[in-house]
Chain A
Amino acid sequence: MDDTGVRALLARVADDPAPPSRVDIAAARQRGRRRIRWHRAALAAAPLAAAAAVALVVSGIIPATLGFGPGGPGGLRPGPETARSRFSPLQPYAAFGWLPAGFSTAAGAAMPAANQDQATTLSATLVAGDRATGRLLTLTVSAAGACQFTGPLRASVLVSEDPPRLMTKTYPHGLRCSDGTGHRVVTPLRAAAPGIGGGSAFYLPSGGLAWEYAPGSWASLTPSAQSPGGRDRLHRMYQAAAGWAIGPGPAGFPATIQSAASRALVRKVAERVSYGATAHIVFPFQLAGRPAGWTVSMASYVPAGGRLLGTGGLQAGPARYPYALYAGVRPAGTEGKCTINRGQGRFVRVHGAPATLYPNVLNSGQALYVCDIGGLYVNINLFMTDPKTHRQVPGTSLGALAIARRMRLLGTDPAAWTTDPLG
């Protein structure tokens, strides 16, 4: 056998008859969006965890907290005297108090790649955006103790979001934050900024701000822009890399994030953030008979009509596997036409509606999809086996189908949805 023989062999094997595809493009988009959201939640987009932090905390020079002065000037919102060490993922801890003209907290509905706010036990991430220009402001408030202020930090920073431009340099300080999903996010701090609410503040390389909203508790605000995509993508790449300059800015909004006007605007938003859990997220489903000890670890939601709609789904599990279950339920058709190929899966029924159950070889679990059941789309992903120990994750033996069948669906009217999705 020679090169020609190998070519012939490969061509022949590649011509094997293929079974129907079970590749799900819509699911790839959905999961991809989720990854992008997490990426964005990493503040300067990417402290890129990969970028090794040198983190030399110089004893005596960098105290554990940087000191609080008297509260902010009148009209501004001071931070809480003490922050919580754990947040409820069902009740976001922070809210925007003021946004620039054109911006809305419900922008997500028209910006799928960044559309949902997320709440975990250690952080609350809120996105506000201007639909007309694709500009976004991402606010992340971390629980007390979730972030550590560090010394010099060498980091690669994503200057613009799409496509990214990486810039590697050493910054005088950094913040290492646990985001509540098992990841640690490293955010470089560029230079000291005037304090906010009596606490220390720093400029981020992206043009955003990080500040200590309560002793030992940090928040950050990052401006970014979404590329509209399309035929001028390459041109826009270079344009985006030069600053926050995609498309014409609305009146009063600066075109470049590094400008003094932009900094002032970001600062104004930061100074008016309010802290404390208020509204509950409402979900269009309730899981009956949850396994003992399971709690919600993360929820994704969109503010709309005065409510926080948990249409991005939630993750839950036992303490050791807090992300064992993803349950996403939203009005059918939200993400376009739903088609599900059987492929390796099998057809089943959930409350009379056709559904497909797949083994998920990537996480040794199961995935279940229902395109339309009473006007709702349902997706359940169950992570069933610990890849290291090969042990079954407690509470998952019943499988995704049983979970779906135990699910109480609450219809498409948010007025009837629940704040207690685990029942």
Chain B
Amino acid sequence: MNGRRDDEFTDYVTERMWWLRRLAYLLCQDWPRADDLVQATITRLYTHWGRAAAVEHTDGYVRTILVREYLSERRSGWARRVSLTAEPPDTPSVLGDREGALDLRAALAGLPPRQRATLVLRFYCDLNVDQAAQLLGCSAGTVKSQTAKGIAALRRTLQPPRSPGSPEHGPGNVTSGPDGMEVQPRG
């Protein structure tokens, strides 16, 4: 009986692991922390597996657990004071527009957690305003304002005002780091 429950749970998690890790990574901007978040999520999922498997949209149920775990973790003292450094990835690096990718990550990482979660839910998970509000436990108006603020912040970070002779990010630009600290890029 429970073997079957375990099998179903394991099959589901194994199948959706890629998606879970990506979603967690978008929220955390840090692979080790993303894996911890997924670990906490699937542990909670296991305890509610009976209900999760019975609902029509199990992915939505799991997404809710993950996002709420993320937000509650970000509220804890641990997340505020610890910054993890990821190990070099074991997979080969992908060549490409690395600087551009770093800019994107820095821009996303610069958003406060709730704003980041709102953008991820709206534009990566394709939830509408009401769905995102329900998941985040806030009003539709709050989702709208968080979305607008998040997009504006990204715009500011990724499209700095251009000054004569400085077509790209100059060494003097200041962006916001993951925990709200100011980060001075090395130029």
Contacts and interface: CB of A to CB of B under 8 A. Distances in A.
Given A17-B89, A29-B6, A364 B101 contact: no
Interface in A9-48: 9-14, 16-25, 27-29, 31-33, 35-36, 39
Nearest to A335: B6
Given A1-B151, A18-B31, A6 B21 contact: no
A1 B39 CA distance: 34
A325 to B, nearest CB: 19
Contact of B91 (A9, A20, A111, A164): A20
B14 interface: yes
Interface string B56-82: 000000000000000001001110011
Contact of B2 (A1, A13, A21, A111): A111
Interface stretch (A221-229, A274-282, A369-377, A391-399): A221-229
B26 interface: yes
B26 A13 contact: yes
B42 A28 contact: yes
Contact of B21 (A13, A23, A33, A227): A23
A101 interface: no
B39 A28 contact: yes
Interface stretch (A147-155, A170-178, A206-214, A230-238): A230-238
Contacts of B158: 1, 9
B162 interface: no
Contacts of B81: 390
B93 interface: yes
Interface stretch (B116-124, B131-139, B165-173, B178-186): B116-124
A18 B25 contact: yes
B127 interface: no
Contacts of B82: 361, 364
Given A14-B25, A112-B6, A229-B5, A32 B47 contact: yes
B39 A27 contact: yes
Nearest to B48: A163
A181 interface: no
Nearest to A247: B1
B149 interface: no
A19 B124 contact: no
A16 B87 contact: no
B104 A12 contact: yes
B43 A28 contact: yes
Given A19-B91, A111-B2, 9 more contacts: A1-B154, A3-B151, A13-B26, A21-B35, A113-B2, A113-B5, A336-B6, A343-B32, A344-B35
